[in-house]
């Protein structure tokens, strides 16, 4: 393993990509500590100390921003606006014929969709930064802090606009840094920045559990959480690598004097075909009722019910709704991203067929049948991974102050595996042994 790292840094072009990626990550982490103009830095730190890192409704955004949200820095929104824009464009591709046509145009169409994603990212960043500034000014960002109302001492219009423009520009810079990593570095830039944001909050969160623990100075709780995390990581690696390979045979064709086809390949269907998207969808959807209650300022029956049941991550109602939403979005996302009819038509066009299955409609029905069968364990696996850390942390009494959950584990492991595979492929081109054996 260590020899492989040495070989990676001995290769000039690969070393340049790795160092460039590390440099961009350093710039990104520095930006997460630069406060927005108009924010009282000392009041923010006082609130963070009083609330012991409690994140409440803003935990998801704070997780993806590497803790920058609650510190109200220039990168407070992190990469989340771009992720949201990408998901929205991907969903609209199925609905809007124009976007579907662009998707089929190849590289030119993909570039156009990427441009639309950037525009939508800017719009979402303006909306989210406006909401964050409004929340900070009202003192609702830290509900249990005496200095929450002093975070933005100057509430003039110019100061508010400056804060919104600064955070929107910060989101654009983060998006640009991610694209630089994708073009000139190693791995997918947006995924790596999200990986770094989550990994940056993990050590402090683990240490918070140790300090809150009561058994043997907190070391027993700390060790228990680490063991659960390692077990979950092992399960995630096992399932993320699992796939159902459907064999495909291509008939031999004569074109001129040359023969084409006659080869065997397979269609890899992953058990977790939807990735981490269902977990993000479910988390985001569950935040909406709580946000509505927070800004409605009422005490109606439905508001009290939402406050009691859907604002605590360890409540049975919350866990039940969360798991059901994950299963639903897993099937929904797979249905809109994997089209068995299109794959069957492409196979028929190029003379491919599944042994024992007729080409055309029977092939599409077979693919749909197999996909539904393997999506069930994938959806249940996502629900299990999302709930295990929450239940384990609730048992330690640290669930409200610890942002390390199923979403973070899935993202860290998934991005880590993809990045290692990219490094391994470049090493194998130079006849070096890779990371994965």
- Cα–Cα distances in Å, from 179 out to 172, 214, 292, 423? 11, 45, 34, 18
Can you give the three-state secondary structure of 328-354, one letter per residue? Answer: HHHHHHHHHHCCHHHHHHHHHHCCEEC
pLDDT of 389 higher than 90: no
Rounded distance between C-alpha atoms, residue 295 and residue 29, angstroms: 32
Write the DSSP string, 198-266: HHHHHHHHHHHHHHH--SGGGHHHHHHHHHHHHHHHHHHHHHHH-EEEEEEEE--EEETTEEE---EEE
Query: For residue 401, what pLDDT is reported?
Result: 45
Task: Quick: pLDDT tens for 326-341.
Answer: 888 889 888 888 888 8
Candidates 288, 36, 32, 293; CA nearest to 140 is 293
Across residues 133-147, what is the average pLDDT? 76
With a CB cutoff of 8 Å and minimum separation 6, the contacts of 370 are: 244, 246, 269
The DSSP bridge partners found for residue 254 are: 259
pLDDT of 17 higher than 60: yes
Sign of the alpha-carbon dihedral angle for 205, 211, 212, 218: positive
Which two three-digit tokens encode residue 48?
């963070």
- Cα–Cα distances in Å, from 402 out to 47, 50, 158, 278, 406? 17, 15, 36, 21, 12
Confirm if 404 and 208 have CB atoms less than 8 A apart: no
Candidates 397, 428, 414; CA nearest to 232 is 414
Query: For residue 435, what pLDDT is reported?
Result: 55
73 SS3 class = strand
Confirm if 27 and 170 have CB atoms less than 8 A apart: no
Q: What is the CATH number of domain 196-437?
A: 1.10.3370.10
Other CB atoms within a 10 A radius of the CB of residue 20 amount to 16
Phi, psi at 395, each rounded to 5°: -65, -30
- Cα–Cα distances in Å, from 221 out to 183, 200, 225, 340, 395? 43, 21, 6, 47, 9
pTM confidence score: 0.79
Q: Between β-strands 243-250 and 264-270, what pairing exists: parallel, antiparallel or unpaired?
A: antiparallel
Query: For residue 110, what pLDDT is reported?
Result: 84
Question: Which of the residue ranges 190-199, 280-289, 343-352 would you say has the lowest mean pLDDT?
Answer: 280-289
Query: For residue 119, what pLDDT is reported?
Result: 93
Report DSSP state, residue 36: P
Q: Where are the domains of the chain?
A: 32-185, 196-437
Task: Quick: pLDDT tens for 21-72.
Answer: 999 999 999 988 888 998 888 888 888 776 654 455 566 667 777 778 888 8
Confirm if 211 and 398 have CB atoms less than 8 A apart: no
Query: For residue 131, what pLDDT is reported?
Result: 83
Give the residue with greater pLDDT, 330 vs 391. 330
Rounded distance between C-alpha atoms, residue 47 and residue 72, angstroms: 12
Rounded distance between C-alpha atoms, residue 52 and residue 11, angstroms: 45
Task: Quick: pLDDT tens for 297-318.
Answer: 667 777 777 777 776 666 778 8
pLDDT of 385 higher than 50: yes
Task: Quick: pLDDT tens for 349-369.
Answer: 877 888 888 888 888 899 999
Confirm if 236 and 413 have CB atoms less than 8 A apart: yes
Q: Between β-strands 264-270 and 352-353, what pairing exists: parallel, antiparallel or unpaired?
A: unpaired
């Amino acid at each position: 393993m260590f020899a492989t790292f040495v070989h990676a840094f001995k290769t000039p072009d690969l070393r340049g990509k790795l160092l460039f990626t590390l440099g961009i990550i350093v710039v990104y982490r520095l930006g997460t500590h630069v406060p927005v103009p108009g924010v009282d830095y000392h009041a923010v730190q006082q609130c963070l100390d009083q609330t012991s890192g409690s994140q409440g409704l803003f935990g998801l955004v704070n997780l993806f921003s590497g803790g920058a949200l609650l510190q109200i820095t220039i990168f407070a929104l992190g990469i989340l606006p771009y992720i949201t824009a990408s998901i929205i464009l991907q969903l609209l591709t199925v609905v809007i014929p124009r976007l579907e046509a662009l998707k089929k145009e190849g590289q030119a169409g993909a570039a156009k969709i990427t441009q639309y994603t950037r525009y939508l990212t800017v719009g979402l960043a303006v909306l989210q930064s406006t909401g964050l500034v409004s929340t900070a000014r009202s003192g609702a960002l830290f509900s249990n802090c005496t200095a929450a109302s002093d975070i933005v001492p100057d509430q003039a219009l110019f100061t508010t606009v400056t804060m919104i423009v600064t955070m929107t520009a910060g989101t654009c810079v983060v998006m640009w840094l991610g694209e630089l990593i994708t073009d000139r570095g190693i791995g997918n830039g947006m995924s790596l920045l999200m990986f770094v944001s989550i990994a940056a909050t993990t050590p402090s969160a683990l240490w918070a559990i140790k300090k809150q623990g009561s058994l043997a100075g907190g070391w027993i709780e700390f060790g228990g959480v680490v063991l659960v995390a390692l077990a979950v990581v092992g399960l995630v690696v096992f399932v993320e690598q699992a796939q159902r390979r459907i064999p495909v045979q291509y008939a031999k064709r004569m074109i001129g004097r040359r023969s084409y086809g006659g080869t065997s390949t397979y269609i890899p269907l992953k058990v977790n075909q939807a990735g981490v998207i269902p977990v993000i969808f479910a988390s985001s959807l569950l935040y909406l009722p709580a946000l509505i209650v927070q800004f409605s300022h009422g005490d109606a029956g439905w508001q009290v019910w939402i406050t009691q049941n859907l604002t605590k991550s360890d409540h049975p109602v919350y866990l039940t709704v969360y798991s059901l939403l994950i299963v639903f979005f897993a099937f929904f996302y797979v249905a809109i991203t994997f089209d068995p009819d299109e794959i069957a038509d492409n196979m028929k066009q190029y003379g491919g067929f599944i042994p024992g299955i007729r080409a055309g409609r029977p092939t599409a029905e077979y693919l749909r049948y197999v996909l539904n069968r393997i999506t069930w364990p994938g959806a249940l696996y996502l629900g299990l991974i999302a709930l295990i850390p929450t239940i384990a942390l609730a048992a330690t009494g640290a669930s409200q102050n610890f942002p390390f959950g199923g979403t973070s584990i899935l993202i860290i492991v998934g991005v880590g595996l993809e990045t290692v595979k990219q490094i391994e492929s470049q090493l194998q081109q130079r006849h070096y042994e890779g990371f994965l054996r």
